[in-house]
Structure 1
Amino acid sequence: MSDLAADLELAASLVREAGQLAARMRGEGLAATAKGSLSDIVTAADHAAEELIVARLRQERPQDGILGEEGSAYDGVSGRTWVIDPVDGTWNFFHGLDWWCSAIALTTDEDVLLGAVHHPATSTTYAGGPGAPATCNSERLEALVDRPAAEVCAATYLHPDRHATAVGEAWRRAVSLPATLRVLGSGTMDAMALATGTLGVSFQHDVPLWDRLPGEAIVRSLGGVRREVEAGGVTWNVLGVATTVDQVAAALADGR
């Protein structure tokens, strides 16, 4: 087994265990605490799932660095860093919606190497990277089919208090392009819908690494692309099939 294949296998195992732990804890009952806003919350399951992943990584990849959404941080000596999102879509998770997952990426300073995502509601595990095939429950996924924005569904999100700002103006230009929109509440799960061809593009501003890298790795493995765009005073992350990404990026940037 190559080093990358072994890392992919480990990553898939980590997110399965973390997602299953979080799901069990949700079934037993949880409280939530607000982080940055009422919609940005954290639970004990977020912390427990991250601790589980960190403990295994410290044992199995002790030379690698770690960066976790819930505060875990270790400086490695290998030049590689594992980026952890123990529960992506915590609002959905806490309120009983199933569009949430556990996710992880392995990255260097140059590029993301791989990502893995587990969706507990369907017992589905995705894995892949720019230099590795993308899989769903170990079965190869098909390459993405490029389409224009007018033919795809887009996933996006904008905080309500930003709608009447320059950020909102940029967003409205972009949302006028796709055939339809969905606001689903988990950026990484949105990326998995891109990976399976259900969606054609996702875009949101100021996306942290743990919300971006796992999904990006898998989508790029299938021929998708990612672009960063400065518009409205923020940085937008646009991910999906190439033609739609180019169109959305141009619409965001128009008038900046």
Structure 2
Amino acid sequence: MAIDTRTPRHTPDTSTAEMTDADLAARLVVDAGTLARRLREDGLDVHHKTSVSDVVTQADNAAERHITDLLARHRPDDGVLGEEGTLVAGSHDRRWAVDPVDGTYNFVNGSDYWCSAVALTGPDDYLLGAVHRPVTGDTFVGGSDIPTRRNGVPVARLAPGDLATGSLATYLHPPFFDDPDLADPFHRVSRGAATIRMLGSGSVDLASVACGVHTVWAQHSCPEWDWLPGRALVEGAGGSCTTVEVNGYDWFVAGRPGAVEQAVSLLRG
């Protein structure tokens, strides 16, 4: 059966002059997520990358192509870095990081815990992120210049928190539990939280942190497309974000002020 990878029809075309970065970011993730969900409904061919849980489908590739095509039309001078191999140099300091389907293992197995995510970085620490969850219909947009919004409504600003009374969203790929350089800090920070949530989509986790659902998110060795979209949302909600090296690995931490510092202390031991 032929796979329909046409542009989703629900999104009207908008000229470059009319579309802000935030509007474009929202369109990218909504279009990509809608396309990926439609392809999942049609049936998927699944290919393994590095492990049984590290998978890719034609939906990942089609959604990334769609995002790249839109960026070529609306922001032709911007660079692009995509999880599925897109690399556009760009002619200046602005670059989009693209994760067309974040949580592909969940996506393949019928879970709703996946999303499409993008981030835009630029001069003077400019950062914008957008995340769309097709199954729930939620779209999050925010960053350094824009307070984080959920479906167009500003989220509450993140008040200081205590990790010991809050939830930690995290993930450690099971084979890495055999590596004490990763397992030990993971165990320390996990034991410091009231509860743990490990569901397998970093950008969904970070959107939940931005909305106050989780207190802290911590994960090691994150590529830009797994970190920047959600980091933008957390910072746009008044949260703290940092990177710390422990035992030769970079850990990426985001969440409520105060609780982030507690998590970093536990990771360092």
**Superposition TM-score, scaled by structure 2 size:** 0.91
> By how many angstroms is 1:196 displaced?
1.2
> By how many angstroms is 1:187 displaced?
0.3
User: In structure 1, what is the equivalent of residue 121 of structure 2?
Assistant: 107
Deviations 1:143-194 (CA, angstroms, capped at 9, x unpaired): 0121111121111111222223221011111111111001111000000110
Give the residue type in structure 2 aligned to 1:204: Q
> By how many angstroms is 1:109 displaced?
6.2
Q: Decide whether aligned partners of structure 1 residues 110 and 211 sit closer, same or farther in structure 2, where only a CA change above 3 A counts.
A: farther
Q: Are 2:137 and 1:120 aligned?
A: no
Taking only aligned residues, the RMSD between alpha carbons, in angstroms, comes to 1.5
Deviations 1:42-99 (CA, angstroms, capped at 9, x unpaired): 0000000000000010011001111100001111112100110000000000000110
User: In structure 1, what is the equivalent of residue 230 of structure 2?
Assistant: 215
Q: Which runs of 5+ in 1 are unaligned?
A: none
User: Which of 183, 202, 205 is the equivalent residue of 2:198?
Assistant: 183
Q: Secondary structure at the match of 1:133?
A: coil
User: Which of 181, 196, 199 is the equivalent residue of 2:211?
Assistant: 196
Contact 2:102 2:116 in 1 (8 A): yes
Q: Are 2:71 and 1:44 aligned?
A: no
Contact 2:210 2:234 in 1 (8 A): yes
Give the residue type in structure 2 aligned to 1:154: L
In 1, Cα distance between the equivalents of 2:150 and 2:214?
A: 16
User: In structure 1, what is the equivalent of residue 11 of structure 2?
Assistant: none
After TM superposition, the structure 1 = structure 2 runs for residues 25-64 of structure 1, keeping only pairs within 5 Å, are 25-64=39-78
- Equivalent pairs, count: 252
Contact 1:167 1:233 in 2 (8 A): no
Q: Which runs of 5+ in 2 are unaligned?
A: 1-16
Per mean C-alpha deviation after superposition, the further-off stretch among 155-164 and 33-42 is 155-164
> By how many angstroms is 1:110 displaced?
5.5
Contact 1:124 1:136 in 2 (8 A): yes
Contact 2:215 2:259 in 1 (8 A): yes
User: In structure 2, what is the equivalent of residue 233 of structure 1?
Assistant: 248
User: In structure 1, what is the equivalent of residue 177 of structure 2?
Assistant: 163
User: In structure 2, what is the equivalent of residue 89 of structure 1?
Assistant: 103
**Superposition TM-score, scaled by structure 1 size:** 0.95
